[in-house]
Chains A and B, each alone.
Chain A
Amino acid sequence: MPAPNLIPPEKVPAPHSDFTVGVLALQGSFWEHEVMLRRLGVAVREVRLPSDLDGLAGLIIPGGESTTIGKLAVEFGLLEPLRAFGREHAIWGTCAGAIFLSKDARRNQPLLELMDITVERNAFGRQVASFEVDIPVPALKVVAPDDDRPFRAVFIRAPLIERVTPPAEVLATLEDGRIVAAQQGHLLATAFHPELTDDTRFHRYFLHLAGWAP
C-alpha cells in the first residue's frame, strides 16, 4: 500500500499543453499535486523564485509546514509577487497553503493575506488525531455533474477555517458544521489534502477557476 501519489512526477508522461499551472515547491507535498495535474493533462512548473511565476495560469500552494513555507517565501522575495499573482490568477492552498492564503492565522507568521478567512492551526490536535472522512462538497458538481460521491478528505495536523468573511464563502464543512473549505472568487482554500487521494474533482475544480477548458 504505497503512499498516495508519492512517485517522481516525471513518471507521469508530460502533457502537450500550453496551459501551465505552477506548484509552489518551497517545501511539502508539491510532487503529489504535480502528479495529479499531470494525470489531468496539464503542464506543471515548480515555483521557487519570483521569476518562476511568469506565464502561469494558476498556482497551487501545497501542504507542508506553514511556518517553513512562509519563512522561505519571505527570504526569497516571493511574498509580494505571490500577492500580485493572486489578485489576477487562481491560487489554491491545501492545509499549510490554506493557512498561507489567509488574512489571519492568530499567530505571528508570514501570510499572503489574500483571503478573508481566519484559520486556527493544528485545530484538531496532534498527529494521533489526524483522520480521514467523507464530506459532501456540492460545488464539485460544476466539474462532475453526474458524480454524487462524497469527497474523501484527509486531515493531517489540519487547520480549521474558523471564520469566513464576505466576499469569501464556505465551500465545505464537517458534519458538525466546522468549516474546512472556502472560496473567494478565484482563490480556494482547503484544510485537507485532495493531493493524497485519487479523486481528481478538486483539482479539476481549481483548474476550472484558473480558466482551463479541457
Chain B
Amino acid sequence: MEAQTASYKVKVGLAQMLKGGVIMDVVTPEQAKIAEDAGAVAVMALERVPADIRKQGGVARMSDPELILKIMDAVSIPVMAKVRIGHFVEAQILEAIGVDYIDESEVLTPADEEHHIDKHQFKVPFVCGARNLGEALRRIAEGAAMIRTKGEAGTGDVVEAVRHARAVLGEIRRLKTMADEELYTYAKEIGAPLDLVREVKELGRLPVVNFAAGGIATPADAALMMQLGMDGIFVGSGIFKSEDPPKRAAAIVKAVTHYNDPAVLAEISKGLGEPMRGLQAADLPEDARLAGRGW
C-alpha cells in the first residue's frame, strides 16, 4: 500500500475543500488571526495588498519568506502566497517553505512575458487568474489546479470580476450547445487544448474549482459572484482597507454561505462601517490595469 503524494486529485482536492469559502489577503500574522477568527477558509500571505501595490508602484515581487512563515505559524488554516507570472524559482522557494497553494499572479510584476510556470513540475498546487475560457484552459493545461477571475485587483470595483466571470461562464454555456465537429475550430479560436474543451463541454463547467477575485468589497459583491456561478471568493484589499475589518470579514464569510438568501444578506450587510474607498476600474489608464498581464 504505497501512499501517493502530490497527485492531481489531492491538488484539486484542496481547492474543492475551499469551495463556498472566502480567502483573504493578509500582510501580518495579526491580520491572519483576524481572518481565521472571522471564518476565512485560507489566507493569502503578502507584504502589500494590491491597493498599496497600485499606490506605491515599483516592481512587485514574491513576499519575504520570513513573513510568510510567521503567518503560517499564526493560523491553522491553509496559507497561500503569490509568485510573479513565469517566475518558477520564486515558486520553488514557496514550495520549499511549505505554503499550501501558490498564486501565479498578475498582481505582481510579470517575470516572463511569454511563458507561465510549468506547474506540473511542482508538488504544491497552483491557482491562476483568467479573463475568459481560453485563458482558464491554458492555465489548467500548464497544471493549475484552481482558477480565479482576474477582476481588477486593488480597486474595490467589482465590475471587472463580473466581466470575467460572465465571460468564462457564458462561453461554457455556449460550448455546451456546440456540435462535436465544431469543437476543433472553437479550441483553435480560443487558444485552448482540444481535450480540455471537450471535457468542459461534457462537464458543463471548468474541470477545476473556480473562484472570483479582483475588486470584491462588500457582502453583496461576494453574493453576486456566487449567484453568477462562482465556487468561492478571494478578497484582497477589500477587508483590511475598510473601516472595521473583523466585522466586514465575518459578514463576507456569511454572505458566501447564504448567497441565495436575500433576507440573510440584508441582515449581515447592516452597520459594517465604511468599505474601502476604491477606484473606478473604468478610470484606470491602460498601463495601470493588472488584468492584462498573463498570456
- A and B physically associate: yes
> Which A residues are closer than 8 A to B by beta carbons?
1-4, 6-8, 11, 25-32, 48, 63-65, 67-68, 71-72, 75-76, 95-96, 107, 121-122, 125-135, 150, 154-157, 175, 193, 196
Would B13 and A156 count as touching, CB distance under 8 A?
yes
Q: A65, B204: Cβ atoms under 8 Å?
A: no
- B→A interface (CB under 8 Å): 1-10, 12-21, 36-42, 72, 76-78, 95, 98-101, 123-125, 199, 203-205, 207-209, 250, 253-254, 256-258, 261
Inter-subunit contact B208/A6 (CB<8 Å) = yes
Smallest CB separation, A119 vs chain B (Å): 12
Return the 7 tightest CB-CB contacts between A and B, nearest first: A2-B207, A127-B100, A3-B12, A130-B10, A133-B3, A27-B20, A71-B39
Measured in the bound complex, the distance between the Cα atoms of B83 and A177 in whole Å is: 39
B residues near A27, Cβ cutoff 8 Å: 19-21, 41, 256-257
User: Chain A nearest CB: distance from B4 CB in Å?
Assistant: 5
Smallest Cβ-Cβ distance to B40: which chain A residue: A68
CA distance A65 to B256 in the complex (A): 14
Is B209 within 8 A of A128, CB to CB? no
A7 to B199, CA, bound (A): 12
Residues of A contacting B17 with CB < 8 Å? 28-29, 63-65, 95-96, 156-157
CA distance A31 to B10 in the complex (A): 17
Inter-chain contacts of B7 with A (CB < 8 A): 131-132
Are B207 and A3 within 8 A (Cβ)? yes
| A11→B205 CA distance, assembly (Å) | 11
Contact of A72 with B254 in the complex, beta carbons under 8 Å? yes
Tell me which of A4, A26, A32 has the highest count of chain B C-beta atoms within 10 A of its own C-beta. A26
Inside 8 A of B38's CB, which chain A residues have their CB? Answer: 71
A7 to chain B, nearest CB (A): 6
Q: How far is the CA of A150 from the CA of B250 in the complex (A)?
A: 42
A156 touches B204 (CB 8 A): no
Residue of A nearest to B95 (CB): A128
Please name 5 pairs of A and B residues whose Cβ atoms are closer than 8 Å in the assembled complex, sorted by A.
A27-B21, A27-B257, A68-B40, A130-B6, A196-B16
Contact for A8 among B4, B37, B40, B204, CB less than 8 A: B204
Output the least CB separation between A180 and chain B (Å).
12
Chain B residues with Cβ below 8 Å from A8 are: 204-205
Instruction: Give every chain B residue within 8 A of A64 (Cβ-Cβ).
Output: 17-21, 41
Assuming the A-B contacts A7-B203, A154-B9, A196-B13, are A68 and B21 also in contact, with contact meaning beta carbons closer than 8 angstroms in the complex?
yes
Residue of B nearest to A74 (CB): B39
Residue of B1, B13, B100, B257 near A126 (CB, 8 A) is: B100
Does B253 lie within 8 Å of A72, measured CB to CB? yes
Complex contact B1–A75 (CB within 8 A): no
Cβ of B16: which chain A residues have Cβ within 8 Å of it?
3-4, 6, 29, 32, 63, 196
In the complex formed, the residue of A with least CB distance to B1 is A134
B202: nearest residue on chain A (CB-CB)?
Answer: A2
Which of A6, A125, A154, A175 has the most B CB atoms < 10 Å from its CB?
A6
User: A48 contacts which of B1, B14, B205, B257 (Cβ < 8 Å)?
Assistant: B257
Q: Is the CB of B21 within 8 A of A130?
A: no
Give CA–CA (A135, B14) in the complex, Å: 21
Q: B20 — which chain A residues lie within 8 A by C-beta?
A: 25-28, 30, 64
- Pick the residue among A7, A67, A131, A157 that contacts B205 (CB under 8 A): A7
Q: In the bound complex, how far is the Cα of B210 from the Cα of A31, in angstroms?
A: 14
